[in-house]
């Protein structure tokens, strides 16, 4: 049974009715399941038992501190891409020595703070970044632990916007050039080379690109060893896909088993940076139908959630299930585009869905636990939704709904 399921004609999160939660907190509302986050994290940790490993949850997928705290309690590490994410992890009780810092544009201040708290490793994405890090660490009288993010030029066979391991993408250092960069890094006084890192893309539904990448990384590790540079860890990044519609991604257990087989007997710590596969199916976005607009050629259900709450359909044409909280057996079934109040034609959450709905009905946009709230915005001066976490038969407000006053905070009119 998944965390979100129908029970006596109503959609539930664990033991709670989503309709009642929507009425209690209002809509739009993000609802997460603690059970799901814990279960999907344990799929990784169980599959990695007996193998030296670190699972660094990718904070960008869902960065609410309650979510981070649930994972930190299980011993998770974290993959961050900004000092903001670093502070979130620390506030949530995450351990600095389990944090890796990715991203192509780290600023000196961000490096300083990460060095100060003692993170595990910087995933360095360019030579210029390496030089800056060496300088910043030198100013602090420290050595920065580094793993170079290499770009293995592997086609992840996913949406082009979320493919990151091709030569044309902005991420990482060309694998062919990596030995030269490692040699430079090894000579830098304030850099300590500890590993190799990569992340080839997101929502992968096949293990092949991961295994091809691993082969290339292991060949690089051998080459570096021959050059006298010994690495302690290999970080395969995130990217494992989930089922939104009818995709059949490998299970976490199968994926990890394949990676372990590829690693063989090597004495390397293996690291992962999963985001979506931990969080996506642990959350839904609840919304109320404000109006039905039945036009001659097209029907629209205008709901109170919009592209500012969930941008994935507009940005990637992403498909997610639309589930009525209390499905009707009466009324006419029609095909609807589910659209929000934002003034953009791209403001849709779903297209052409056969539904039996009326004004005032409540819907769940499924699979919104990853890259849902974290990608939301205030476009059209819309406050961001509240977030709640369900834990068995308990529910907790983990982020208050933004008010209009919140949105204008820090703005000033010109003097008279």
Ligand X SMILES: Cc1ncc(COP(=O)(O)O)c(C=O)c1O
Binding residues for pyridoxal 5'-phosphate: 239, 273-276, 371
Q: Give the pair of three-digit tokens for residue 112.
A: 């300083």
Q: How many CB atoms lie within 10 A of CB 302?
A: 18
Mark residue 331 as left, alpha or beta (left: phi above 0; alpha: psi -120 to 50; beta: remaining).
left
C-beta of 82: minimal distance to ligand LYS in Å?
13
CB 277 within 8 A of CB 254: no
Query: Least distance in Å: CB of 316 to ligand LYS?
Result: 6
Per the structure block, which two tokens stand in for 2?
Answer: 């998944």
Q: Which is nearer to ligand LYS, 136 or 365 (CB)?
A: 365
For residue 65, give the nearest of 88, 36, 41, 87 by alpha carbon: 88
Please count the residues of this chain forming the interface with ligand LYS, following the rule CB under 6 A.
Answer: 7
CB of 83 to ligand LYS, least distance (A): 18
Give the residue with the Cβ less far from ligand X, 58 or 388. Answer: 58
Q: What residue numbers does the annotated binding site for substrate cover?
A: 276, 312, 316, 344, 371
Report which residue's Cβ sits closest to ligand LYS: 371
Backbone angles phi, psi at 156, to 5 degrees: -75, -5
Q: Which is nearer to ligand X, 152 or 239 (CB)?
A: 239
Q: Compare residues 224 and 284 and give the one whose CB is closer to ligand LYS.
A: 284
**Which residues make up each annotated binding site?**
239, 273-276, 312, 316, 344, 371
Residue 36 touches which member of ligand X, ligand LYS, none, C-beta under 5-8 Å by kind: none
Strands (E), 66-190: 77-80, 99-101, 121-124, 144-151, 173-174
Integer Cα distance of 354 and 332 in angstroms = 10
How far is the C-alpha of 111 from the C-alpha of 83, rounded, in Å?
8
Two tokens, residue 198: 């990569």
3-class SS at 314? Answer: helix
The CB density around residue 226, as the number of other CB atoms within 10 Å, is: 9
Rounded to 10 deg, the angle between the 83-91 and 108-117 helix axes is: 30
Residue 278 backbone class (left: φ over 0; alpha: ψ -120 to 50; beta: rest): alpha
Quick one: 259 exposed, middle or buried, by C-beta within 10 A (0-12, 13-18, 19+)? Answer: buried
The correct pick among 134, 371, 385, 388 for binding ligand LYS (CB under 6 A) is 371
- 174 has which bridge partners? 151
Task: Select 23 or 170, whichever has its Cβ closest to ligand LYS.
Answer: 170
User: Residue 179 is inside which H or E element, if any?
Assistant: helix 178-187
Using CB distances below 5 to 8 A depending on partner kind, what does residue 312 bind out of ligand X, ligand LYS, none? Answer: ligand LYS
Least Å distance, CB 238 to ligand X, is 3
Which partner, ligand LYS, ligand X, none, binds residue 102 by CB below 5 to 8 Å per kind? ligand X
382 binds, among ligand LYS, ligand X, none (CB under 5 to 8 A by kind): none
Q: By CB under 6 A, name the one of 19, 106, 149, 312 that touches ligand LYS.
A: 312
Helix (H, G, I), strand (E, B) or coil at 156: coil
273 contact choice in ligand LYS, ligand X, none (CB below 5 to 8 Å, kind-dependent): ligand X
Q: Report helix, strand or coil for 399.
A: strand
CB 201 to ligand LYS: min, Å: 8
Q: Which residues bind ligand X (CB under 6 A)?
A: 58, 61, 79, 102, 199, 202, 237-240, 273-277
Which of 33, 147, 190, 202 touches ligand LYS by CB under 6 A?
202
- CA diameter of the chain: 73
Nearer to ligand LYS, 36 or 312 (CB): 312
Which residues belong to the active site? Answer: 343
Residues ≥6 apart with Cβ < 8 Å to 345:
none
274 binds, among ligand LYS, ligand X, none (CB under 5 to 8 A by kind): ligand X
Binding residues among 220-279 for ligand LYS as defined by CB under 6 A: none
CB-nearer residue toward ligand LYS: 77 or 313: 313
CB of 57 to ligand LYS, least distance (A): 13
Rounded to a whole number of angstroms, the minimum distance from the CB of residue 364 to ligand LYS is: 18
Residue from 117, 162, 211, 398 in contact with ligand LYS (CB under 6 A): 162
Cα-based distances in Å from 67 to 15, 32, 183, 309: 19, 9, 39, 18
237 touches, from ligand LYS, ligand X, none (C-beta below 5 to 8 Å by class): ligand X
- Interface residue list for ligand LYS (CB under 6 A): 60, 162, 202-203, 312, 371, 375
């Amino acid at each position: 049974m998944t965390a979100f399921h129908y029970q006596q004609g109503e959609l539930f999160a664990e033991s709670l009715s989503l309709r009642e939660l929507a009425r209690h907190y209002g809509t739009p509302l993000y609802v997460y399941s603690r059970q799901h986050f814990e279960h999907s994290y344990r799929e990784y940790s169980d599959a990695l038992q007996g193998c030296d490993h670190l699972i660094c949850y990718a904070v960008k997928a869902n960065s609410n501190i309650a979510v981070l705290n649930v994972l930190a309690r299980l011993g998770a590490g974290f993959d961050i891409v900004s000092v903001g994410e670093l502070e979130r992890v620390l506030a949530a009780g995450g351990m600095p020595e389990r944090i890796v810092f990715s991203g192509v544009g780290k600023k000196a201040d961000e490096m300083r703070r990460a060095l100060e708290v003692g993170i595990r490793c910087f995933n360095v994405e360019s030579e210029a970044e390496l030089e800056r890090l060496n300088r910043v660490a030198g100013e602090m009288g420290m050595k920065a632990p580094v793993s170079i993010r290499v770009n293995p030029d592997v086609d992840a066979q996913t949406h082009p916007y979320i493919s990151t391991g091709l030569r044309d993408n902005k991420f990482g250092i060309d694998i062919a050039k990596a030995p030269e960069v490692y040699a430079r890094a090894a000579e830098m006084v304030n850099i300590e080379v500890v590993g190799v890192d990569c992340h080839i893309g997101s929502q992968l539904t096949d293990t092949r690109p991961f295994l091809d990448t691993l082969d290339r990384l292991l060949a690089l590790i051998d080459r570096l060893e021959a050059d006298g540079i010994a690495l302690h860890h290999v970080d395969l990044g995130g990217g494992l896909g989930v089922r939104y519609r009818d995709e059949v991604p490998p299970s976490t257990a199968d994926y990890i088993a394949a990676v372990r087989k590829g690693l063989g007997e090597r004495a390397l710590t293996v690291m992962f940076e999963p985001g979506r596969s931990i969080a996506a199916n642990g959350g839904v976005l609840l919304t109320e139908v404000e109006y039905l607009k039945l036009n001659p050629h097209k029907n629209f259900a205008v709901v109170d959630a919009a592209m500012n709450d969930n941008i994935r359909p507009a940005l990637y044409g992403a498909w997610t299930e639309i589930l009525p909280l209390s499905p009707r057996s009466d009324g006419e079934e029609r095909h609807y585009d589910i659209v929000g109040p934002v003034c953009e034609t791209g403001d849709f959450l779903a297209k052409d869905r056969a539904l039996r709905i009326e004004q005032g009905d409540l819907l769940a946009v499924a699979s919104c636990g990853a890259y849902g709230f974290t990608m939301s915005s205030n476009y059209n001066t819309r406050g961001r939704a509240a977030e709640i976490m369900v834990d068995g038969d308990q529910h907790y407000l983990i982020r208050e709904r933004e008010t209009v006053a919140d949105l204008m905070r820090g703005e000033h009119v010109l003097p008279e």
